[in-house]
């Protein structure tokens, strides 16, 4: 109980600090027409969530798939994720995220005197439990060079029956970004996720910290690079990296190629090295 109280108090302290930090930036700064603000800023493909908040009436869809490079026999090599973001009122957006683990390719194991035997499937497949959430900007201006936002999420108990031990999973993140020049951006996250609502669940929760840099490689091409780590009391520290390039033919359309290695930060996300690709589109422009 004392742990839950301490975490709650810490959450209020972080929220207050975020609000204070965000309000120190001049809201009248002329920054609305810079590429960093005007162009689409997806929350994919890495672990870092941007401070970008969709404006009321805007809808953004982000989808992508990744292929694990060192999956064991019988486990799924392909993992897909879709994120729907909707600009709500004020400085808030609503979010729905759905993961999908593809069925593994059929393989066989040779057993003497028996011959080839199909390798049994290991682990869950199909649609994972749905995650719903809201992202809120702590400042009063979406065009600031420095931005602070808060993300709150809840993973539900639905999904395919092959996913074991499904429980409600609350999570929260503090999101910070700093625009560098007109086109570069530095983003950082600090978050916490737990399975269940009991004090014992809190003590077994997982912390995450991320730091990401993105910028241009020309008029329509760019790069992103990210380092992150998770920490859990029993498992300890597990660092990871993500890097890639993107092509943005329109201000509201972006395609990306990515590669990474590290732990999955969602309960059913795969761990290890992977390559992937995705697309993000925002409507209206």
pLDDT at 21: 42
Higher per-residue confidence, 51 vs 107: 51
Dihedral sign for Cα 108, 109, 110, 115, please: negative
pLDDT at 200: 81
Give pLDDT tens digits for 181-239: 988 999 999 999 999 988 888 888 999 999 999 999 988 999 999 999 999 998 899 99
Q: Please, are residues 11 and 209 in contact by the beta-carbon 8 Å criterion?
A: no
pLDDT at 72: 66
pLDDT at 17: 43
pLDDT at 256: 97
pLDDT averaged over every residue in the chain? 85
Does 13 have pLDDT greater than 50? no
Does 154 have pLDDT greater than 80? yes
| % pLDDT > 70, the chain | 81
Banded model confidence at residue 12, pLDDT cuts 50, 70, 90: very low
pLDDT at 198: 84
pLDDT average, residue stretch 258-274 = 86
Convert 15-70 into a string of H (helix), E (strand) and C (coil): HHHHHHHHHCCCCCCCCCCCHHHHCCCCCCCCCCCCCCCCCCCCEEEEEEEEEECC
Structural domain harbouring 191 = 2-283
* Least reliable range by pLDDT among 6-10, 26-30, 75-79, 145-149: 6-10
Give pLDDT tens digits for 84-134: 999 988 789 999 999 999 887 665 565 676 666 666 666 788 999 999 999
Count of domains for the chain: 1
Q: Please, are residues 87 and 57 in contact by the beta-carbon 8 Å criterion?
A: yes
The CATH number that applies at residue 164 is 2.40.160.40
The C-alpha atoms of residue 173 and residue 154 are separated, in whole angstroms, by 12
pLDDT average, residue stretch 33-47 = 89
pLDDT at 18: 42
pLDDT at 8: 41
Does the pTM surpass 0.85? The reply is: no
pLDDT average, residue stretch 51-57 = 93
Higher per-residue confidence, 153 vs 109: 153
Count of CB atoms situated within 10 Å of the CB of 111: 9
Higher per-residue confidence, 195 vs 15: 195
């Amino acid at each position: 109980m004392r742990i839950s109280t301490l975490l709650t108090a810490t959450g209020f302290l972080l929220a207050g600090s975020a609000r204070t930090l965000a309000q120190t930036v001049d809201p009248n700064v002329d920054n609305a027409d810079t590429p960093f603000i005007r162009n689409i800023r997806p929350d994919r493909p890495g672990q870092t969530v941007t401070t970008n908040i969709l404006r009321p009436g805007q809808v953004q869809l982000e989808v992508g798939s990744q292929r694990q490079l060192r999956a064991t026999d019988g486990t799924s090599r392909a993992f897909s994720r879709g994120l729907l973001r909707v600009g709500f009122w004020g400085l808030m957006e609503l979010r729905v995220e759905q993961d999908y683990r593809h069925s593994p390719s059929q393989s066989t194991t040779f057993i003497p005197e028996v011959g080839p035997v199909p390798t049994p499937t290991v682990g869950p497949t199909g649609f994972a439990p749905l995650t719903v959430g809201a992202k809120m900007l702590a400042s009063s201006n979406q065009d600031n060079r420095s931005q602070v936002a808060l993300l709150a999420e809840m993973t539900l108990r639905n999904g395919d029956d092959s996913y074991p031990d499904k429980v409600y999973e609350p999570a929260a993140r503090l999101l910070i970004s700093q625009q560098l020049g007109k086109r570069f951006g530095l983003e950082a996250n600090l978050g916490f996720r737990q399975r269940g609502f009991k004090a014992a669940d809190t003590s077994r929760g997982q912390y995450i910290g991320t730091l990401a840099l993105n910028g241009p490689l020309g008029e329509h091409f760019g790069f992103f690079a990210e380092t992150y780590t998770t920490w859990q009391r029993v498992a300890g520290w597990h660092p990871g990296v993500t890097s890639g390039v993107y092509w943005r033919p329109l201000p509201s359309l972006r395609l990306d190629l990515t590669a990474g290695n590290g732990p999955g930060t969602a309960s059913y996300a795969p761990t290890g090295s992977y390559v992937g690709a995705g697309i993000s589109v925002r409507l209206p422009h």
